[in-house]
Amino acid sequence: MNATRSTILTLLITICGLQATLTTTTATAGSGCPNEAFRTGYSANLPDCRAYELVSEPKTQPYFNTFGQFKNIEWGVVRFGEVLSTTASASSLNSGIAYFSTVAPPGSSTDGPFYFSSRGSGGWTTQNLVPPQGTAATLACIPYMIAWSPNMERGVFADGFNSSGSNCAGDEPELVPGEPREHTQNLFGRDLAAHTYQLVNQKGLAIGEPANAIFQGGSSNLGVIAFSEEARAHLDPTKYYVWAGGTVDRLLTVLPNGEATEGEIANAITVSKANADATSPTFTHAVAPDGSRIEFTAGGSLYSRLNPGAPPSTSGECDEAGKACTVQLDSSETAEPGGGGVFAGGSGQDGSVVYFTDANPLTGNSTAVAGEPDLYEYDFNRPEGERLTDLTVDHNAGEHADVLGYVGSNEVGPAGEYVYFVADGVIASNQNSSGALATPGAPNLYVAHKGAISFIATLSPADSCDWENRCMTGRLSSTGRYLGFNSVEEITGFDNLDASTGQPDQEIFLYDAEGGALGCASCGTTGAAPVGPASIGRPEGVFVVDTPLVLYPQRNVSDNGQVFFDTPNPLLPAARNAGDLYTQSNVYEYQGGQLHLLSSGTAESSSFFYDASQDGGDVYLVTVQPLTADASSSEVSIFDAKVGGGFPAPPSSPESCAGEGCSGPQSIALRPPTISSTAVSGQGNLEPPAAASKPATVRSLTGAQKLAKALRSCRVKRNKHKRGVCEAQARKRYGPKLKKSAKTNRRGK
């Protein structure tokens, strides 16, 4: 790897004090699992018949970013690819994950840094996704994989980007004959199995030399791709195009009358905000999963381009089957003016339902007023003239409840079956499962389902990432039945005051729309006060200068109602290494009122949640601890805690788990979340274990040693302000303590 690039990339990684450790403890085997022969060592106590498998190639260094990991700002582990879904069976081989690594496996033809690991009958293999380059890439010229189909068979490869405008030599040799070369980033559709490429930006700008092609979004199979080309300012403004499986580029921003116009794809990705804004047209479905429509804005109005990759309709109207045409979504059905629509998201595999907010009263019964928007639904499955609906009509007298944001809607099943949003007022009168009612003037979380709106919980303004698509921390299962979200509020009654700061820590909650059950996934069973927050992380991170990346949100919530996360809080007695804000994070699974430990709970190093498959059968975590016999004890590795998983151990396994440290209760049942609309949960939805055994003795550090260790972890931060904040927090926690007065109650109670 280029030495300068390696040094810079290394500085961009925070390992937060991860240290290698060798555990010599034994495990008691479970029973009834078809893969019991493989559930040995650290795997023996995993729930759901899971077993650990080493995913990443030895000697690689998978990248993850822990800046802000233990603050209430929802950052977390970052990786750059999809997760291949799998069925929960021992015979399943359909697993895979794409990620970024700063070190290439031995024998790689290039230094990466993008890789794809897939599961075979004998273990995991890793594929280098960056083709051989004529000249080593530099920090500003890294070629990268930017998008994936859900089955990981196709991807989009970007090559040749340079923010400074000088030539990037890293795009040699040509991947497709005749591709634009100088000063240009090209986009390629890539078949991962066949190792073939198709040039997406085929013609470039017709008015001048080609410019950087920026991926904006694509259909699920990537047969339809939307992209922009950032032209020279003196030539033309940015234009947006559509590529559809080899056809010529089609202009996207076309008005209903057929006139081409300056516009922007909804939730567009630009170089200027590439590393500050996680929004992507792919994940908000501005590009429909089947590629049948793409939403864009122009002149202050919101439009949908139908059949965007096809030749345009000759009449300009949507009266020719299969031809491209444009519909204005925020056109008013009343005498009031239209326009002003802000795209929120799309629903369904065909993207047939589109959601947007608008402060204009577009329908006859709308209660939207200036500065206080409503949430609208545009349903292409309905007849013309009946497609637009105001979902949040306020029937209450008094103050209008304006919509603050859209959380999401189901991706599979009937389009628009579940729609989650937040409004700062009362638009539903039901009690939630904790007995609470919506609070006037506060950000209240709601779900619209089969024509009815139900109140879920009252959130805090500090929880805004749950409903802002720049953060996307409100996560749905693909069916929409389950919603996971963060909050600093005591939604289920758990006292979340931090043991050190006395301020409320963020916790993770799970809502089940079938019955309305609401539970706290991260509140634990030990009764100990939290030492830091637990959070669903935003899909965000920085590693390359000004490179416009699509960062895939982690699947924290599965279709089976599981929530996966990491936290430094000791949520179970088996998490004997937890409780240190900076260095001791563990990975957990919550389902049906029960909490499970997915990391070992014994290591001196942290474990972080990396991702999961749609059904939760694969849960990927990253740690230095060698959870399998073929893993190294000195390198960061990705492991899969896989249902029905496991492979035969090597003949000799000196680093495998053996002894007392592998045993102990790894799962504890919590009180099931209540479903009654009138029941009050009192002191919270969790009960401590009836008789928790005394945890095994773990080697402890002195206060001075802890302070020194924490300060060392702060030094890797390149940003002086972040480094200073980190050091101040370390000294506050581990430095000499002054006498403190008794802790006052929250908010002056």
Reported as a single tens digit per residue, the pLDDT across 54-68 is 999 887 878 765 543
User: What is Dmax (Cα atoms) for the chain?
Assistant: 80
Count CB-CB contacts under 10 A for residue 311.
13
Mean pLDDT of all residues in 86-104:
71
Looking at per-residue confidence, does 386 or 9 come out higher? Answer: 386
* Residues 459, 464, 468, 474, Cα dihedral to 10°: -50
CA angle 60, 65, 67 (to 5 degrees): 150
Spatial separation of the C-alpha atoms in residues 603 and 577, rounded to whole Å: 6
Give the pLDDT mean for 374-396: 90
pLDDT at 35 over 50: yes
Residue 303: band (very low, low, confident or very high) from pLDDT cuts 50, 70, 90:
very high
CA distances from 305 to 293, 298, 378, 699, 716 (A): 5, 12, 14, 62, 47
| Per-residue confidence (pLDDT) for residue 506, from 0 to 100 | 93
Q: Give the C-alpha separation, 24 to 597, whole Å.
A: 19
**Confidence band (pLDDT; 50, 70, 90) for 678?**
very low
Q: List, for residues 386-445, the tens digit of each pLDDT value.
A: 999 999 987 665 567 899 999 999 999 999 999 999 999 899 999 999 999 999 999 999
pLDDT: which is higher, 554 or 664: 554
Query: What average pLDDT is seen over the chain?
Result: 77
Pair 388, 377: CB distance under 8 Å:
yes
**CA 583 – CA 579 distance, rounded (Å):** 9
**391-395, 425-429, 616-620, 713-717: the lowest-pLDDT one:** 713-717
CB 376 within 8 A of CB 334: no
Instruction: Using the predicted structure, report yes or no on whether residue 21 has a pLDDT greater than 50.
Output: no
Three-class secondary structure of residue 708 per DSSP: helix
Burial class (CB in 10 A: 0-12, 13-18, 19+), 579: middle
The structural domains of the chain, with segments of one domain joined by +, span 92-284, 703-738
Please name the amino acid found at residue 485.
F
What proportion of the chain, given as a percentage, has pLDDT over 90?
41
Closest C-alpha among 503, 529, 575 to residue 732: 503
Nearest to 521 by CA among 550, 496, 554: 496
Examine the pLDDT at 609 and tell me if it is beyond 80: yes
Cα–Cα distance, 623 to 637 (Å, whole number) = 6
Task: Compute the distance between CA of residue 713 and CA of residue 146 in angstroms, rounded to an integer.
Answer: 31
The residue count of the chain comes to 749
Q: What share of the chain has pLDDT > 70, as a percent? A: 69
- C-alpha pair distances (Å), 163 with each of 208, 457, 547, 581: 19, 44, 8, 37
Q: How many CB atoms lie within 10 A of CB 333?
A: 15
Q: What are phi and psi of 445, to 5 degrees?
A: -95, 130
Distance CA 346, CA 428 (A): 23
Task: Report whether the peptide linkage leading into residue 173 is cis, meaning its omega lies within 30 degrees of zero.
Answer: yes
Band the pLDDT of 343: cuts 50, 70, 90: very high
pLDDT value for 654 = 42
Query: Looking at residue 736, what is its pLDDT?
Result: 55
pLDDT score of 399 = 66
Band of pLDDT at residue 380, cut at 50, 70 and 90: very high
Rounded to an integer, the average pLDDT of 58-87 is: 58
Question: Residue 690 — very low, low, confident or very high, per pLDDT cuts 50/70/90?
Answer: very low
Nearest by Cα to 600 from 663, 688, 531 = 663
Count Cβ atoms within 10 A of the Cβ of residue 464 and give its class: 0-12 exposed, 13-18 middle, 19 or more buried.
Answer: middle
Angle at 328 between CA 323 and CA 332, to 5 degrees: 145
Q: Is the pLDDT of residue 672 over 60?
A: no
Q: Would you say 99 and 63 are in contact if contact means Cβ atoms under 8 Å apart?
A: yes
The torsion of the CA quartet 60, 64, 66, 72, rounded to 10 degrees, works out to: -160
- The predicted-structure confidence for 240-259, as pLDDT tens digits, reads as follows 899 998 777 788 999 999 99
Query: According to the model, what pLDDT value does residue 686 have?
Result: 29
Segments of 339-387 assigned E as strands: 342-347, 353-358, 374-379
Examine the pLDDT at 667 and tell me if it is beyond 60. no
- CA dihedral over 730, 731, 735, 740, signed as positive or negative: negative
Q: Is the Cβ–Cβ distance between 210 and 232 less than 8 Å?
A: no
CA 74/CA 467 separation, integer angstroms: 13
